[in-house]
Amino acid sequence: MDEQAEAKRATVHDVARTAGVSLATVDRVLNARPGVRPETAEKVENAIKALDFRRDLSASLLARARDLRVTFLIPDGGNAFMESLVGAIARRVRQTRNERLTLAASQYHALDPAALISRLDALNGRETDCAVIVAPDDPAVVKAVDAATRRGVAIITLVSDLPGSARRHFIGIDNQAAGRTAASLLGRFCTAPGKVGIIAGSLGLRDHRERFEGFAGVLGREFQHLSIVGPTEGFDDDVQTEAAALKLLSEHKDLTGIYNLGAGNAGLVAALGKTHRAGNIRVVSHELSDTTRGALRAGTLDVVLDQNPDGEIRAAIAAARQVALSPDAEIHSDPIEIGIFLRDNLR
Amino acid sequence: MDEQAEAKRATVHDVARTAGVSLATVDRVLNARPGVRPETAEKVENAIKALDFRRDLSASLLARARDLRVTFLIPDGGNAFMESLVGAIARRVRQTRNERLTLAASQYHALDPAALISRLDALNGRETDCAVIVAPDDPAVVKAVDAATRRGVAIITLVSDLPGSARRHFIGIDNQAAGRTAASLLGRFCTAPGKVGIIAGSLGLRDHRERFEGFAGVLGREFQHLSIVGPTEGFDDDVQTEAAALKLLSEHKDLTGIYNLGAGNAGLVAALGKTHRAGNIRVVSHELSDTTRGALRAGTLDVVLDQNPDGEIRAAIAAARQVALSPDAEIHSDPIEIGIFLRDNLR
DNA sequence: TCCGTCATGAGGTACGTGCCTCATGACCTA
DNA sequence: TAGGTCATGAGGCACGTACCTCATGACGGA
C-alpha cells in the first residue's frame, strides 16, 4: 500500500473563483468581518466545502505578523504536579521559539477562585488568543470563562473540566479510568484479605471524586476480599496528608493497601517511614515527581499513575492552534493517556 | 511567576546587517549553497549565534512553495502493530493537511532486507526530505541508510534502532525497561512459586533481545520464586506463536505466567483458550490491538505493554521538521513512554 | 430625485524566507 | 595582459494569507 500526496491544496484564490466572488469577500467571510450578505457568505462557505479549503496556518500567522498568543493560568502553592505543568510549559517555550507561538505562564493563588477570576477578567482578545486554565469547578469561574470567551479569548480547560461553560475544549485524563486502574492493580497486589485506605485531596474537586468512584466500583465488583477505609482528606498538602495517613495506619492495623488519589505524597511517604510500614503496604498514588520517583525506587510506593504534564501542554497548544485556525470547528486532540509507572519503567 | 514573551525575533535581514554581508550571502550559508569563503561563512555563523537567529519554519516552507515531504517505510505482513503504525500515519495525514506536510506511507515485504534496501535506494533528496523507517538491524540496511543520507534524505529509525548508521535520530521505547516492567508486574501477580514461559518473535531482533534481557534481569533479582522457561520463538506469526504456546503449556503444567514479548498474540490467545488455561495463567504481552483489547476485557491477558504508535508517528514527524530546520543540529524529542494497559484503562 | 448606507470588487503592501538573475570586482593562470 | 573563475552584492519575484484603501453600483428612505 502506498499513499500518495493529494493534489495541490486549494487557496483563497481558488475559493474566490469557485464562489464567483472577489478575494476581499472571501477574506471577509474567513475572518468574520462584517459587510457580507448571508447569501453571499453561503456561496463562499459552499466553495470552501467543495474545495475542502483549509487556511494555511503558516501563511496565516506570517501574514498577521504576530504570534499565536497562548496564556496558561495554573495554581501555585507548592503542589508538585502544578509545578511540573509550569516546567512543561517552560520546556515548550524553548521548543516553539521558531513556530510563531508566544506562550505565557502565569500562576494564581491556589484554592482561590477570586484570584483566578480576576486573571480571567484581565484577558482580552487583542492581547491573547487563547487561555489554558486549571480551574476549580465553581459557578463564578464559569461566568468568568463565559465572559472571557465573549471578549474573544478562547478558553481551554486543563486537568479538571468546567462542563456547562463556554470553554472550547478540555484536555485531561479520564479520572474514572485512573481510579479503576488503581483498584485493579492494588486488588491484584494485595492478595490477602484486608483493608485499603483511601486518601483524597478534597472530594470537592471533580477529578478526585471521579477517581474515587472508579476505584470503589472496581474494588467492590472484583476484589471482594478487600474493603475500603475512607476516603479521608489531605487537602493536597504534605502536612495534612501525613496526618491523615498516620491516622489511617494507627487505626487500622490490618491495612494492606493505600490509594492516595490527591497530592501530598511527601507526607504519605513520611508517614509510611515513621511507622515502619514502608514496603509492607502496597501503595498507589498519583503524579510523577522527585518525591514519588524516589519512593518508587525505594519500594515505598508500588505504582504511580501520571497524567503526563508534557503531553497535556503539547495537546493544549495543539488545541489552541486549531482554535486559531477555525474558531467554530470541533477540536480534535489525541487523548491523554494515563501513565502507569513502576520502579522499572521510570523515566 | 510570569513569563513574558521575548523581544522580536531576529530575521535573515538582521543577520545580514550584523555580519556585514548581503542577504544573498546569508542565504547561501543558511542553505548550504556553494560560493562562500570559510571566513565569510564564519562571520555569518557568528551573527546567527549572537542574535540567536532561528529560521522561521512557516515562512521557510511557504517560500519554497512545497511541503516537507516525509516518507514512511513500514513492514507489511499482517503484523497488527505495523498495521497500527500505518493507521496512525493515515490519521496524521488528515490532521496535518494544512501544515505544509506531505506524508507518504509505503510498506515493504517484512523480514526481507532486500525489499527495504531497494526502497531506500530509490529515495533521493529532490523528492523526499526525510524517511522514517522500521528496519531490521542488518549491515546491508545500514549501508543503504548511509547512502540515502548522502543523497540528501535524512533517515529516522522507528521502533528498532540502527546504531552505527548515519540515521539522524531514533524514535522508540526503551525495550529493556519494557522487559523489566513486564517482569515486575508478572512477578507481583504470580505469588505462588512456579514457572514463567517466554515467547519471543525472534531473538535476532534487537528490540526482542532487549526486552528479554530486561525481563530476565528483574525476575532473577527480585522474584526468585519464579523460574524462566524459554525463550521460545513464534516469529511474530499467529500460527507459529500458537504452536509455541501450546508446547509451553503442555510441557510445563506448573506454568503460572507467560510473557509474550513479540507479536502473534492471536495465536497465544487461541492456545490459552484451547487448553482451558485462559484466566488461570497471568499473561503479559505487547501492543494494543483488537485482539489484545478483547483478551484484556475477557481476562485472558492481564497486561499489555504498548509503545503508542500515534505518539511515535507524531514524534517522528516533529523530528523530521527539526531536521528540515537545521540539518546539523541535535534533535530533541520527547521520549516515547511505555503504555501499560489493564482492562481498566483501555482506551 | 438626491443622498446615505451597504455589499462588493480591485488592487496594493506586508510578513520572512527561498531562489533566481545579473553585475561587479578580486584574483589566478596562461 | 586577456580571459577565466570565484566570492559577493543588489534586486526582484514568489509562496498564501491578512489587512488596508478606494471605487462602484444597488437599494432604500425622504
pLDDT, tens digit, 9 for 90 and up, residues A233-247 = 998 889 999 999 999
How confident is the model over B155-186, as pLDDT tens digits? Answer: 999 999 999 999 999 999 999 999 999 999 99
CA to C1' distance (Å), from A24 to D24: 15
Name the closest residue (CA) to the C1' of nucleotide C8. A25
Closest listed residue to residue B16, CA positions, set B8, B5, B3, B25: B25
Tell me what percent of the residues of chain A surpass a pLDDT of 70: 98
Q: Is the CB of B24 under 7 A from strand D?
A: yes
The residue-averaged pLDDT of B225-248 equals 92
CA–CA separation, B88 and B315 (whole Å): 12
Residue of A nearest to B347 (CA): A337
Which of A54, A104, A302 has the CB atom closest to B4's CB atom?
Answer: A104
> What pLDDT score does A64 carry?
84
The answer to whether B95 touches B129, Cβ cutoff 8 Å, is no
Question: What pLDDT band is residue B295 in, cutting at 50, 70 and 90?
Answer: very high
How confident is the model over A20-72, as pLDDT tens digits? Answer: 999 999 999 998 888 889 899 999 999 999 999 988 888 988 888 778 899 99
Cα angle, residue B39 at apex, residues B37 and B43 outer, rounded to 5°: 115
> What pLDDT score does B300 carry?
95
**Does residue A2 surpass a pLDDT of 70?**
no
CA–CA separation, A108 and A116 (whole Å): 6
> What pLDDT score does A99 carry?
79
> What pLDDT score does B95 carry?
81
Residue of A nearest to B187 (CA): A189
Closest listed residue to residue B173, CA positions, set B345, B333, B2: B333
Nearest nucleotide to the CA of A41, by C1', is C7
The residue-averaged pLDDT of A265-290 equals 92
Contact between A104 and B67 using a beta-carbon 8 Å cutoff: no
β-strand partners of B341: B304
Q: Where are the beta strands (DSSP E) in chain B?
A: 68-75, 101-108, 130-133, 154-158, 169-171, 194-200, 226-233, 255-260, 282-286, 303-306, 339-341
**Alpha-carbon distance B116 to nearest alpha carbon in chain A (angstroms):** 14
Q: In Å, what is the CA distance from A204 to each residue of A199, A210, A237, A260?
A: 13, 11, 15, 16
Q: Is the CB of B192 under 7 A from strand D?
A: no
Question: What pLDDT band is residue B136 in, cutting at 50, 70 and 90?
Answer: confident
> What pLDDT score does B7 carry?
55
**Does residue A3 surpass a pLDDT of 70?**
no
Which domains does chain B possess?
12-54 (1.10.260.40), 67-172+310-334 (3.40.50.2300), 175-306 (3.40.50.2300)
**Alpha-carbon distance A73 to nearest alpha carbon in chain B (angstroms):** 10
Q: Which of B345, B346, B347 to mutate to test the interface with A (most CBs of A within 10 A)?
A: B345
The answer to whether A256 touches A282, Cβ cutoff 8 Å, is yes
The residue-averaged pLDDT of A261-276 equals 93
Q: Where are the beta strands (DSSP E) in chain A?
A: 68-75, 101-108, 130-133, 154-158, 169-171, 194-200, 226-233, 255-260, 282-286, 303-306, 339-341
Which of B 101-130 lie inside 8 A of A, CB atoms? 102-107
**Which grid cell is B323?**
531536521
Which of A4, A69, A89 has the CB atom closest to B104's CB atom?
Answer: A4
**Does residue B2 surpass a pLDDT of 50?**
no
How confident is the model over B85-116, as pLDDT tens digits? Answer: 999 999 998 888 778 888 999 999 987 899 99
Q: What separation, in Å, do the N-terminal and C-terminal C-alpha atoms of chain B show?
A: 36
Which of A2, A97, A218 has the CB atom closest to B54's CB atom?
Answer: A97
How confident is the model over A124-137, as pLDDT tens digits? Answer: 887 889 999 999 88
Closest listed residue to residue B236, CA positions, set B204, B264, B199, B208: B264
The answer to whether B184 touches B239, Cβ cutoff 8 Å, is no
Q: Which of B58, B60, B129 to mutate to test the interface with A (most CBs of A within 10 A)?
A: B58
Contact between A5 and B185 using a beta-carbon 8 Å cutoff: no
Contact between B177 and A344 using a beta-carbon 8 Å cutoff: yes
Sheet of A194-200, strand order = A226-233, A194-200, A255-260, A282-286, A303-306, A339-341
What is the radius of gyration, based on Cα positions, of chain A?
A: 24
How confident is the model over B197-229, as pLDDT tens digits? Answer: 999 988 878 889 999 999 999 999 999 999 999
Question: What pLDDT band is residue A7 in, cutting at 50, 70 and 90?
Answer: low
CA–CA separation, B184 and B202 (whole Å): 22
Which of A 252-271 lie inside 8 A of B, CB atoms? none
Mean pLDDT of chain A: 90
* Contact list, A311 vs chain B (CB under 8 Å): 334
What stretches of B171-308 show up as alpha helix (H) in DSSP? 175-189, 206-222, 238-251, 265-274, 290-298
Which of B4, B98, B311 has the CB atom closest to A56's CB atom?
Answer: B98
The residue-averaged pLDDT of B278-293 equals 92
A 10 A CB-CB count for A191 gives 16
CA–CA separation, A203 and A201 (whole Å): 7
β-strand partners of A338: none
A 10 A CB-CB count for B66 gives 11
CA–CA separation, A321 and A330 (whole Å): 12
Which of A 67-96 lie inside 8 A of B, CB atoms? 67, 69, 76, 86, 89-90, 93, 95
* Contact list, B259 vs chain A (CB under 8 Å): none
Can you state the angle between helices B265-274 and B238-251, rounded to 10 degrees?
A: 40
* Contact list, A334 vs chain B (CB under 8 Å): 310-311, 314
**Does residue B257 surpass a pLDDT of 60?**
yes
Q: Is the CB of A12 under 7 A from strand D?
A: yes
CA to C1' distance (Å), from B153 to C29: 39
CA–CA separation, B302 and B184 (whole Å): 13
CA–CA separation, B59 and A58 (whole Å): 7
Beta strand B303-306 with B339-341 is: antiparallel
Residues with CB under 7 A from strand C: A 20-25, 28, 34-37, 39-41, 59, 62-63, 65; B 8-9, 11-13, 23-24, 27, 30-31, 53, 55-56, 59-60, 62-64
Which of B3, B102, B342 has the CB atom closest to A93's CB atom?
Answer: B3
Q: In Å, what is the CA distance from B226 to each residue of B199, B233, B268, B304?
A: 16, 20, 21, 20
State yes or no: cis peptide before B231, omega within 30 of 0.
yes
Which of B 217-236 lie inside 8 A of A, CB atoms? 218
Which of B54, B61, B342 has the CB atom closest to A181's CB atom?
Answer: B342
Residue in the structure block whose three cell numbers are 482580552? A124
Residue B4, CA atoms < 13 Å, CB-side half-sphere: 4
Residue in the structure block whose three cell numbers are 515531504? B69
β-strand partners of B306: B339
**Does residue A315 surpass a pLDDT of 90?**
yes
The answer to whether B169 touches A169, Cβ cutoff 8 Å, is no
Nearest nucleotide to the CA of B9, by C1', is C16
Number of alpha helices (DSSP H) and beta strands (DSSP E) in chain B: 13, 11
Question: What pLDDT band is residue A98 in, cutting at 50, 70 and 90?
Answer: confident
**Does residue B4 surpass a pLDDT of 50?**
no
> What pLDDT score does A305 carry?
96
How confident is the model over A155-181, as pLDDT tens digits? Answer: 999 998 999 999 999 999 999 999 999
**Does residue B252 surpass a pLDDT of 70?**
yes
Can you state the angle between helices B265-274 and B290-298, rounded to 10 degrees?
A: 30
Closest listed residue to residue B156, CA positions, set B89, B72, B32: B72
Q: Which residue type does A342 have? A: L
